[in-house]
Structure 1
Amino acid sequence: MNRIANALALLLALPACSAFAQETGVLKGEAAFGGWRDDRPGVRRLFAPQDLPKPFATESAGNGAEEVERPENAKPTLPPGFSAELVASGLRNPRVVRVAPNGDIFVADSSTNQIRTYRLAATAGQPAQSEIFAKGLRAPYGIAFYPPEKPEWVYVANTGSVVRFPYKPGDLEASGPPQAVIKDIPTGGHWTRDIAFSPDGKVLYLSVGSASNVAEGDAKAPKGGLEGWTRTQVLGAPWGDEQGRAAVFAFDADGKNRRTVATGLRNCSGLAVQPATGEPWCVVNERDALGDNLPFEYATSVKEGAFYGWPWYYIGDHQDPRHAGARPDLAGKVTVPDVLIQPHSAPLGIAFYEGDQFPAAYKGDAFVALHGSWNRALRTGYKVVRLLFKDGKPTGEYEDFMTGFVISDDAVWGRPVGVAVAGDGSLIVTEDASGTIWRVTYNGQK
């Protein structure tokens, strides 16, 4: 523990303010690439497609973090005026978090196959009321309420299905058994399935990640030939083990009338609808084994009929060398994502901020949880960042908001996964290394 304690002391000595960002402005190009020691609240980055290095410019790293118990009194680092309160600890695998219209917090504890609920105490510092809403699920992840404003159902995305539970506002435990809504979702590989409703509740979006890193097992043309496949499928649809994957789908609320919204999204682990536009957004884990700084992860609005590249291309017309020459028909048809994020950050959750508790500049922006990855020599991720928007459109910049989870080059105590905005405008964050839930509030001057 001495090693951890010393590292924590060093970490706490880092400036917990935005002075670094103010001195350097927005970090761009090569200067924007870095590691965990460069992270602190207020640091801003802006990446562009031309910043991508060549494939295999570095070796592919295997650099998984040692997950250690949260040191005593350790808290995340936040911008001035913000504070973090521990809501719950001791969870095994807290992942997606969503807030019901009445303010109750729903958390997918995925490895225990449960959905847990929390009701915050009226007085800060008091323990939250906690119950198990549902159990006996199969790797639950996404959670959604229907109808969105006055819900009568809680939808849960298992890894192979979507089910719903009858619900009345204030229920901390499900009042009835689950009903199947969507069946036969492909399983294996990337197992997380997120869901979100359109603002009017008419469309249920579902994300399904790929079965592999880069469709290594499906290099050959599909049965019947590529030309025949492209005539009958949406743009960029994969085949074989990847058929029906690496995409966002849309359904009616009862699970009928399935259609494909967009393809080429390797692993949309976080799905949300932007209130200002009603558009679905994804945060995407991109592919591994091309080098430390390749390719960018990203957050993006999901355009109807768009193809985002996987597995043949990435970030526009950059061709993956492992599929060189395989799909010339897709060149020039790849949609470039809206916000590029440092490679191997592993974004998992996204939430748009429409609350009134934070300063006005935060309204309309989005928070993204970066879980951190094993595939980079200099560790990055392990933080929550803020995506900046102007007039409802992303600027492409993102800013470190919640850091301090990394203890040393080898060890981390926290890995952020879920983000959600509570009814009072505070931010709820889950992390699955120490199994904690945090509530971030603002107490400074607006």
Structure 2
Amino acid sequence: MPIRSLWPAALIACATLTAQAAEPLTGSDAFGGWRGDRPGVSRLIRPGDLPPAYATESVAQQANIVKRPAGGKPRVPPGFDVSLVAEGLAGPRTLRTAPNGDLFVAESRGGRISVIPAGESASLSKPVVFASGLNRPYGMAFYPPGPDPQFLYVAETNRVVRFAYRAGDRKASGPGETVLSGFPAGGSHWTRDIAFSADGKRLFLSVGSASNAGEAMGTKSDADIADWEDHHGLGAAWGREQGRAGVFMADPEGRDFKTFATGIRNCSGLAVQPASGALWCATNERDGLGDNLPPDYATHVTEGGFYGWPWFYIGANQDPRHAGERGDLRNKVTVPDVLIQPHSAPLGIAFYDGTAFPEAYRGDAFVALHGSWNRGSPTGYKLVRLRMQDGRPTGVYEDFVTGFVLSDNAVWGRPVGVTVGPDGALYLSEDGNGSIWRVTAVP
């Protein structure tokens, strides 16, 4: 078919997507499933849009992971292209771009950190192993932040280690040095992400809850709660949840470890916003309250902030499983910035600081949605764009990379990590088939 015959359809698609971007789905329309997903569709979920608890049955339904269809690839908006960078990886999770352009990937299931050398990421390539023998590695951060890091920090599920690093290193020169340990390990939420503050003075660590909704925490007296919070922070969980469901901080040597923010069920992705220096979390909220409750979210996180878990969600909404508990916290819950379709399972988050994408994308964030298990019809399984205005979140998020879902019962990709390359391309990992994809703007 001559290229010229495609123009009318392409123009119609662009016009349709532009209209959708201008008018996000709201209210009950924003709580859709995978059939309504396509690049350019946007949603705005507000706190007032939430249905009551148990409005629908809570269904445990996980789509089967199948082999990627022959020649199959994700869908991206008009004006962009997507290509396969690597495949056959062992649980590729977090992605980080080194200052020299190398792409680092945490192969969590394989217990290793691998590197896709700069210049090879534009075509199918085989990663080089940087370090192996790790315990479910996930988060990575170069230190100090900037063009000349001296270390690569890696968060395993039970500790944070660092490897000596010089620009261009693709194999660790020695074993990792333990910087931080003693925080809760493993559990159903085993991922540990890390990030450094823009000035390099703080190391942030996220630790997810051990349970869905704090079912086995037990209770404390008012006096005991006051004493507990004096030492652990407002709304800090206790019992088997001690040291979990929050973001913690230390100095780069692992000293002065303490609580940064609480009530965050599972902050699976950490990122520092370049424009403001604010710390952001991509968060998995709780399950069991129905298909459309409560929303997952992405938000900037303030020091001393309390985000509700396990007693409340999205403000002063009390979890019915904790009815009558912690009424003193009801009006102290910080409402997140961007509410995402419940059960989407946000993982990686990255801010677009490149120049290759159109101007409208500069400063926006991208969040990888790993996909649902506790919903009647699948949702998530895509990469979405968080729209910012003057560096502030608008609350709107937009489908950017879709096409991983084949049916209610079959998916071939589960997005996890996202990072921006030195050429302005966007890289996305998915751990269903163990692949990495590159999204570029078409000149």
TM-score of the two chains, using structure 2 as the length reference: 0.94
Query: Could you tell me whether the CA contact under 8 Å between 2:273 and 2:280 is conserved in 1?
Result: yes
- Of the three residues 129, 143, 147, the one matched with 2:144 is 147
- After superposition, the Cα gap between the structure-2 partners of 1:195 and 1:230, relative to the gap in structure 1 and judged at 3 Å, is closer
1:101-152 CA distance string (max 9 Å, x none): 0000110000111001101436943x43521000010000000001111111
In the alignment, what sits opposite 1:11? none
Residues 367 and 386 of structure 1 are in contact (CA less than 8 Å); yes or no, is this contact kept in structure 2?
yes
Q: 1:136 aligns with which of 122, 125, 133?
A: 133
For residues 240 and 16 of structure 1, the distance between their equivalents in structure 2, rounded to whole angstroms, comes to 53
The DSSP-based 3-state class of the residue aligned with 1:225 is helix
1:301-355 deviation per Cα after TM superposition (whole angstroms, max 9, x unaligned): 0011100000000000000000111101111000000000010000001000010
Secondary structure of residue in 2 paired with 1:218: coil
Structure 1 contact 18–42 (Cα < 8 Å) conserved? no
Contact kept, 8 Å, 2:86 with 2:126, in 1: the verdict is no
Structure 2 residue 362 is the aligned partner of structure 1 residue 369: no
**CA 1:155–1:326: 2 relative to 1, 3 Å:** same
Q: Deviations over 1:261-285 (max 9, x none)?
A: 1100000000000001101100000
What secondary structure, in the 3-state scheme, does the structure 2 residue paired with 1:57 have?
coil
The partner residue of 1:169 within 147, 167, 170 is 167
1:233 aligns with 232
Deviation track 1:356-382 (CA, whole Å, cap 9, x = no partner) reads: 000010000000000001101121100
- Range that drifts further, 216-225 or 140-149: 216-225
Q: Which runs of 5+ in 2 are unaligned?
A: 1-11
Q: Distance in 1 between matches of 2:121 and 2:188?
A: 43
- Determine the C-alpha separation between the residues in 2 that align with 1:324 and 1:174: 51
Equivalent runs, 1:421-436 vs 2, <5 Å: 421-436=420-435
The residue correspondences of 1:126-275 to structure 2 (distance < 5 A) are: 127-128=124-125, 130-149=127-146, 150-187=148-185, 188-221=187-220, 225-275=224-274
Distance in structure 2 (CA, Å) of the matches to 1:62 and 1:27: 26
Amino acid at match of 2:56: T
**4+ runs deviating over 6 angstroms:** none
SS at match of 1:112: coil
Q: Is the 8 A contact 1:16 1:41 kept in 2?
A: no
**Contact 1:18–1:79 under 8 Å retained in 2:** no
Separation in structure 2 between the aligned mates of residue 286 and residue 275 of structure 1, nearest angstrom: 26
User: 1:18 touches 1:43 (CA, 8 Å); kept in 2?
Assistant: no
Change (3 A) 1:346 1:124: closer
Distance change >3 Å, CA 22–CA 238, structure 1 → 2:
same
Q: Secondary structure at the match of 2:321?
A: helix
**Does the aligned pair in 1 maintain the 2:85–2:122 contact within 8 Å?**
no
**8 Å contact kept, 2:139–2:155:** yes
Distance in 2 (CA, whole Å) between partners of 1:364 and 1:377 is: 35
Question: Structure 1 residues 122 and 330, CA, compared in 2 at 3 Å: closer, same or farther?
Answer: closer
Q: Which amino acid aligns with 1:213?
A: N
1:21, 1:44 within 8 Å by CA — same for their partners in 2? no
| 1:21 Cα offset (Å) | 6.0
| Matched position secondary structure for 1:22 | helix
| Aligned equivalent of 2:43, options 45, 56, 81 | 45
Kept after mapping to 1: 8 A contact 2:85/2:121: no
1:442 has 2:437 as partner: no
Q: Secondary structure at the match of 1:236?
A: coil
State whether residues 117 and 133 of structure 1, in contact with CA within 8 Å, keep that contact through their aligned partners in structure 2: yes
- Which amino acid is 2:159 matched to? S
- 1:124 and 1:237 map into 2 onto residues whose CA distance is 45
Give the root-mean-square deviation of aligned CA atoms.
Answer: 1.6
How many residue pairs match? The answer is: 429
Q: Distance in 2 between matches of 1:200 and 1:226?
A: 34
Distance in 1 separating the partners of 2:15 and 2:122: 27
Within 5 Å, give how 1:274-423 maps onto structure 2: 274-423=273-422
Query: TM-score scaled to structure 1, two decimals?
Result: 0.93
Letter in 2 for 1:397: V
Does the 8 A contact of 1:18 with 1:41 survive in 2? no
Give the unaligned 5+ runs of structure 1: 1-14
Q: Distance in 1 between matches of 2:59 and 2:13?
A: 30
1:12 match: none
Instruction: Provide, for residues 145-204 of structure 1, a one-character-per-residue CA deviation record: whole Å limited to 9, x for no partner.
Output: 011111110000000100000111101110111100001120123100000111121111
Cα distance change of structure 1 residues 191 and 223 upon mapping to structure 2, 3 Å threshold: farther
Report the more deviating stretch, 18-27 or 176-185.
18-27
Tell me by how many angstroms 1:232 deviates.
3.8
Distance in 2 between residues matched to 1:222 and 1:191, nearest whole Å: 30
Partner of 1:93: 91
